Structures are given as structure tokens and as C-alpha cells.
A = this chain, B = another copy of it.
């Protein structure tokens, strides 16, 4: 049967939202969601729905049922006790709502599969895309549509960007969303889909694959129900954009924990790994890598080969970068004679013309510019790792701007490394604001470049 479960556009950019279970009682989930829509800058209509309410809720006219609204509704958010959800959902269907998020819990995750089956039947009847139940729902920084029932002071909302983050788990979802904000990364869509009764991994991938605002998909996944369809959709998506995936339940004990958590049948880890590799997924081993990788894909072009030139203003970091690159399957390029001769002319005599290129603790923006100019022009260089240690006398905001300038050209991938405290972190923020992916150590930068290279190779082979 043809559904439109993968059409989540109206939910993401709704012109109107009905909040079923809206309330004025502080602390109530329906109150938090309603208040967030009021405070967030959301431009659409807001219709509070509460069976026991009349008059107004938080200043807006309240309705006893969504059927009473009698206007076009793009998104309904349901936050009422589980037993009343099926009827509310049926009314959403009748009201021709375009999409529903059910944040209520109390379904299959607590053994009430009967209730969940009812939701599935209703969604099917109306061909209605339903996210949840037992989820945080969605967040879209462009439209400010935001069903997260977490107080805004506890969790920052990321700025507008191109990374879409999807999580079966609400807690990994919300904490990682918060981390994404903390790291200054930009978000396209956030989807926490919980029990996946109706809209599941496959539908979400299908949607994000077609979504022009989404450049990178970051995915926390515990298990997949429709394996064959998942592979089919993913293999199409990875030909267009990267899917960075963190799989929970990769060990036997972890899989048992995942089963207890989201009733996921984790399946064999080896099978997942093989599928991920075969279909061009980018596998992250932990939350840090999920963000490290998303960041490089978000900002950098594809990488045509595995040859990386390293520029550094600290010798030890050059050594660590060399180890990290070679451990990650990357290598130094053989520089052309022309590059070497030109570098020799512009660099002070103390600088060795070899990789890693240690341009000295006194290197300033001019010296960085010379090295970046010549190395990025070398046909044998596929990517650049630029280490800027801001503790040194020569490194300052001009060096940060210079690195950002070359990163903006985007002819070849560029990653930066800066290790340090407050002064360094202020420069890191500036560079990241200008689109440079900055890492705290050569090791994390190399692992990000390696992920970029592996995906680029997959893409080039599929051309």
C-alpha cells in the first residue's frame, strides 16, 4: 500500500499547529510544548486543544476537539494519556491534518502493543504520517516548529544549518542536539522518532534524502525493522549525501540493553557493519565521532585521494599528526619540484621543506598564507591539515582569518587543529563560525579526514 509516511514537509514547516493536551499547568508536557511554540518565534497559527478546557489557554482560544478548529492544520502534537490517544489520532485523520507527532508514552515500550496497533491502523486508514509515540518529536530551526518538551534553559537550540540529526532514543537525541548547539554546529532538522509505530527509519531517510536543506544526515540507531527497505533507501541516499551512523547495541550486552530500551532487535553486529560498509554509510564509533564527522561533511568538499599535507607551528603536533594520518589510512603527498622550490624561496631558511611542514613557532599570517597557497595548489595534495597553536608568539586572529580564507575557497578539503584553553577556544569559535572544521587534536582531525576520504571514494566509485 502506498503511504505518504515519508512526506514530513508540512510537519517541518507548518502554517498551523494544534496542540492536543495543551495546558496552562506549569510542568505539564502540553504546557511546555505550547509555551515553546509561543516563545520560539514560530510564525504560524497555534490552536490549543484540551477536552476539559473552554475559553483560552495561554492567551489562545482553546478547543475541546481538533474537529472544532475547522481550519486547515498542518501539524498536530498529541500529549495526552495513552488510552485517549487513539481517539485523538482518529480525529486528526478526520480533520485532514497533514502530520502528527505523538509524544505520549505508554505504548509497546510498556507492553501495550494493543494500543500501538490501534495507532497503526488509524494512520493507515488516513494515510497519515505519525511520528512516535514515546518520542521527543521534531525541531526545525528555520520554521521554529519544535515539539521538544524540555525547558529551553536546559537545552540550547542549534542555529540554522545543514546537518539533520535523527535519533530513535530521546535522551541521545536531546543531549546530542544540545551538544550540537554547544559546538556551534548548524542544524537542518531534528527528528526523535521513538517507537516508530508509523513513520520509521526508512521513511525518515527517504524524507531527508530528498530534503534540499539537509546536506549531512547524522543518525543514532539501535535497530531497524524493515531491513531490506532500509538498505534500498539508504543506498540511494548515500549516492547523494553522507549518512553518518552511530549504532547502539554493537556488543551482545549492548544489544540486550537496546532490546530492553526500544524493543529493537539489534541483529548481528557483523551484519550491520557489512551493510554499512557496502552501502557507503559513514560509521561513527561514539558520540564524539558522530559530531566530528558531521562537521567535516557539513563544511568540506569531497576528497579526491588520500594524500594530506600538514602545516604546523609546533613540531610535536606535526609528529602526532603524522602518526594519526598514517594510522587512519592517509599519507603525505610527494610534493612537486615546483612546490618545493617555491616554498624554499618564501620560507625562512630554518624551515625544512618537507612534510609535516613545521613553519616555526614564530609563524604569522603571512607565513601561513604562503604555505597554504603553495601546498593547496600542488596537484599531488588532496587535502590540508592546518595546525595553529595559538600559544605561540606569531599566532593570532590574523592567522585564524587566514586559515578561514583558504578554507572558504573549498577547492580541497581543509581541517584545522588547535589545542588549548580560553584564548585558543575564542579563536576556534571564530574559525568555526567561518566554516572551518576545527579539532582539538591531530587524532580527531585525521579520523574526520579519513571518514571524508572513505565516503568520497564510495561516491566516486558509484559515479
Q: Which B residues are CB-close (under 8 A) to A178?
A: 391, 419-421, 423-424
Closest residue of chain B to A355 (Cβ to Cβ) is: B257
A175 at interface, CB cutoff 8 A: yes
* Chain B nearest Cβ from A430, distance in angstroms: 15
In angstroms, Cα B327 to Cα A167, docked, is 22
Question: Which chain A residues (71-97) contact chain B, with CB distance < 8 Å?
Answer: none
Interface residues of A in 150-175 (CB under 8 A from B): 150-151, 153-156, 167-175
Specify the chain B residue showing the minimal Cβ separation from A350: B110
- With A170-B314, A319-B261, A352-B260 as contacts: A419 and B248 at CB distance below 8 Å: no
- Cβ contact of A150, chosen from B253, B254, B392, cutoff 8 A: B392
A235 contacts the other chain (Cβ, under 8 Å)?
no
Check B175–A261 contact: CB distance below 8 A: no
A172 interface neighbour in B153, B286, B317, Cβ under 8 Å: B317
Identify the stretch in A34-42, A58-66, A440-448 within 8 Å (CB) of chain B at 4 or more residues: A440-448
Contact: A419 with B175, CB < 8 Å? Answer: yes
Of the candidates B222, B262, B316, B391, the one whose C-beta lies within 8 Å of that of A261 is B316
Known: A251-B327, A254-B322, A319-B248. A443 touches B287 (CB 8 A): yes
Cα–Cα, bound, A29→B118 (Å): 76
User: A322 to chain B: which residues have CB within 8 Å?
Assistant: 249, 251, 253-254, 256-257
Chain A residues 230-271 with CB under 8 Å of chain B are 246, 248-254, 256-258, 260-262
Q: Is the CB of A153 within 8 A of B254?
A: no
Band of interface residues on A: 35 or more
Q: Let me know if A214 is at the binding interface, CB within 8 A.
A: no
Chain B residues closer than 8 Å to A154, beta-carbon distance: 390-392, 423
A370 in the interface, Cβ–Cβ < 8 Å? no
CB-CB < 8 A to A181: which residues of B? 421-422
Q: Is the CB of B169 within 8 A of A248?
A: no
B319 and A155 contact, CB distance less than 8 A: no
Measured CA separation A390–B154 after assembly (Å)? 7
- Is A315 on the interface with B (CB-CB < 8 A)? yes
How many identical subunits does the complex contain? 2
A301 on the B face (CB < 8 A): no
Contacts of A318 in B (CB 8 A): 257, 261
Quick check: is A288 within 8 A (CB to CB) of the other chain?
A: yes
Contact A323/B170 with A153-B423, A176-B419, A288-B441 known, Cβ cut-off 8 Å: no
A300 to chain B, nearest CB (A): 21
- Bound complex: CA of A105 vs CA of B174, how far in Å? 51
A317 and B171 alpha carbons, distance in the complex (Å): 7
| Most chain B CB within a 10 A radius of its CB, from A315, A319, A324 | A319
Q: Which residues of B contact A393 (CB under 8 A)?
A: 27, 150-151
Is A361 interfacial (CB-CB < 8 Å)? yes
Closest approach, in angstroms, between the C-beta of A440 and any C-beta of chain B?
7
**Scoring A residues 295 to 317 as 1 if CB is less than 8 Å from chain B, else 0, what string do you get?**
00000000000000000111111
CB contacts under 8 Å to B, within A389-430, are 389-393, 418-425
With contacts A251-B323, A419-B175 taken as known, whether A391 is within 8 angstroms of B288 at the C-beta atoms is no
Provide a sorted-by-A list of 21 A–B residue pairs whose CB atoms are within 8 angstroms.
A153-B423, A154-B391, A169-B316, A170-B314, A170-B316, A171-B313, A171-B389, A172-B316, A172-B317, A176-B419, A179-B419, A222-B316, A222-B319, A248-B316, A249-B319, A249-B322, A252-B326, A254-B326, A260-B315, A286-B441, A287-B440
